[in-house]
Amino acid sequence: MFEIIKRHPALYNEVVNVQRFKTNLCKVFKELVLGFKLLLISYESYISIKVDTSLKISSDTIMKKLIFLIISTLLIGKVSNAQTRVAGYSAGKPGTDQYEHLEFRTKDGKRNGASYAYGKNRNEVKLKYLGKSQTNGDTCFKVQFTTNYILYIVPKELKLKVTDKSGNYNKTFSWEYEGPVNGIGTYCDVCVEDDKDAMKLIRSSYLK
């Protein structure tokens, strides 16, 4: 069904916009939950300080509690706001033996791991990032399997051209939508929104 939707740009854009709205709504809800938690921490600390004051605890003790509150709030905010993003690309039809999937993750704009999945069950293996390189005159980056097998990944427009040193492996991977289709499926709030967003992640974090 989703393949049919993708063949009709207007309908596809409408579906994507709905998914974006729902994703942004989830993010707003998470921010509200975080704000409530911080407010609760502040209130509990205030009550604690008030009790200490009524018991004539020294001003130094109260100051230490305030400093602790401020530091704790900043740390919680920093950890909660650490933004994880994921860009997935695939080749072949999902649910078949020919299916292949590459996933690239960032955290706060920095590389945070890559993986390769294949087959009907999406068996996953971790990839090691080997840095920026060149292949056949094209700028690329390399990833390595645990077997030391290396793939060269070349961004081409909004897709990824993936080859090995021998040239025997040569495939084009396209951005893969991760989320519900026709209301069925799970939302991925860390996934990029579209192929342009995915390529932006690749170029800014993996081609540096």
Give residue-wise pLDDT tens across range 155-187.
999 999 999 999 999 999 999 998 887 777 788
Predicted confidence (pLDDT) at residue 56 exceeds the cutoff of 60:
no
**110: Cβ contacts below 8 Å, ≥ 6 apart:** 205
Residue spans of alpha helices (H) in the chain? 2-6, 9-54, 59-80, 195-205
Average confidence (pLDDT) over 194-204: 97
pTM flag (> 0.75): no
| pLDDT at position 144 over 60 | yes
Backbone angles phi, psi at 206, to 5 degrees: -110, -10
* CB distance 105 to 86 below 8 Å: yes
The amino acid sitting at 6 is K
* C-alpha span between 100 and 140 (Å, rounded): 19
Place of tokens 């600390």: 45
Q: 81-129 pLDDT, tens per residue?
A: 469 999 999 999 999 999 999 999 999 999 999 999 999 999 999 999 9
76 or 64, which is more confident: 64
pLDDT at residue 69 tops 50? yes
pLDDT recorded at residue 91: 97
Question: Residue 207: pLDDT above 50?
Answer: yes
Q: Is pLDDT of 77 > 60?
A: no
Note the pLDDT of residue 182: 78
Residue 81 DSSP one-character state:
T
| Per-domain boundaries in the chain | 11-80, 84-205
Render pLDDT for 3-54 as a digit per residue (tens, 0 to 9): 433 444 444 444 445 455 555 555 656 666 666 666 666 656 656 555 555 5
Q: Are 124 and 98 in contact (CB under 8 A)?
A: no
